[in-house]
Chain A
Amino acid sequence: MADEITRRKFLERGIGVMAGAVTIGIGGVALTSIGAPAVTNKLEGKWVEAGSASDLAPDKFNPVGLVYESKDGWMEGKSKMLAYVKVSGENILALSATCSHLGCNVNIDDSTGGFKCPCHTGVYDAAGKNISGPPPKPLKKLEAKIEDGKLMINTMPKEEA
């Protein structure tokens, strides 16, 4: 009988099963902990007060730095992001400066009124739409409002421009 379980075979398999169980157990715990922050360490969107609305030049993009309290793992501190805000009458257009290609901050291109990314020469028009270079998508639109003369911006992008 080829499949007969001898005492030796039983012990050999037992060693294999125990070694496998310890490896999978400890490896599972270690890898779960190491991987968990990818899911649990989230950046929360927040409404941030970004200065007084009267400081913004009308009908053109103004760079607005957003500084807000955030929690990053064990650090409770300040996060920063850059937005471009254009107020035309009642309309407020707030764009995240984060390039849709690989995340650099784009600059205002004065000659076109749009944006240029310094990293890989991505170009966006004045509506934030990607028009040339590597960016696959438009710049992200941020929720913005003016309350009591204060500019308020939500740090979590809602939709593409």
Chain B
Amino acid sequence: MLGRIIDVFDRRLKFKEDFKKNVLDHPVPQRINLTYCFGGISFLLYMLLAATGIAMIFFYVPSVDHAFVTVEYITFDLPLGNILRGIHHWSANIMIVVLFLHMLRVYVYGAYKNPREFNWITGVVLFAFVLAFGFTGYLLPWDQKAYWATKVGVLMPQSAPVAGPFISKLLMGGDQLGALTISRFYAVHVAVLPIITVVFLVGHFLMIRRTGIAEPL
């Protein structure tokens, strides 16, 4: 059934052969091992986070008086809402671990060297984006842990010379951690970061197709 639907498109657009050649039959170095999977796993996690995150946007309200009750609603009232939030929570946590392993493999194998320096650079930037995802997402449930953890995080830049206090205020959207903080963290979490992350991901992927993945040790 699915095969016949695909054939209808393929007879006109001829993509099956290209897909086979460029994806399924794409040549890779011999003896590659399971440690080469961590990049792909983190991309899978990114897609899981996007799907579950988009679903939660339907219910979550980023304001000081509604954030907590809407998270409660998602977790306890919404059918499968706890699964949705659970997948988002655990994917986010596992992503940090998997990215660390991905970077570790690239480092140990020396895969960051010429000609793949820009893959390493975009990768480090992507890792920074993921940490920013984590920092902004952590505040959104607006519970005690979220509030105080973010308070610590936004006040850390204060100790930087000259611009420190201003950076803190920029993060909070003013002098206090409150209404403007939660709405700007939300905006960064669901709009700014997803878009710039996808842009860097596309670069990361296109470049590794160009250079090919590194030989194992």
Question: Judging by beta carbons under 8 Å apart, are A74 and B79 in contact?
Answer: no
Any chain A CB within 8 A of the CB of B69?
yes
Question: Judging by beta carbons under 8 Å apart, are B51 and A33 in contact?
Answer: no
Given contact pairs A12-B24, A30-B52, A36 touches B72 in the complex (Cβ within 8 A)? no
Any chain B CB within 8 A of the CB of A112?
no
CA distance A74 to B77 in the complex (A): 9
Question: Judging by beta carbons under 8 Å apart, are B80 and A36 in contact?
Answer: yes
Question: Judging by beta carbons under 8 Å apart, are A40 and B52 in contact?
Answer: no
Neighbour of B72 across the interface among A15, A26, A30, A74, CB < 8 A: A74
Instruction: Give the number of chain A interface residues (Cβ < 8 Å).
Output: 16
Any chain A CB within 8 A of the CB of B187?
no
CA distance A30 to B48 in the complex (A): 10
Question: Judging by beta carbons under 8 Å apart, are B70 and A30 in contact?
Answer: no
Chain B residues within an 8 Å CB radius of A33? 55, 58-59, 74, 78-81, 84
Nearest to A16 among chain B residues (CB) is B2
SS of A interface (majority): helix
SS of B interface (majority): helix
Any chain B CB within 8 A of the CB of A73?
yes
Chain B residues within an 8 Å CB radius of A32? 79-80
Any chain A CB within 8 A of the CB of B66?
yes
Question: Judging by beta carbons under 8 Å apart, are B78 and A30 in contact?
Answer: no
Report the minimum CB–CB distance from B116 to chain A (whole Å).
26
Any chain A CB within 8 A of the CB of B73?
yes
Chain B 19-31 near chain A by CB (<8 Å), digits 1 or 0:
0000010000000
Any chain A CB within 8 A of the CB of B160?
no
Residues of A within 8 A of B (CB): 12, 15, 22, 26-27, 29-34, 36-37, 40, 73-74
Residues of B within 8 A of A (CB): 24, 44, 48, 51-52, 54-55, 58-59, 61, 66, 69-70, 72-74, 77-81, 83-84, 87
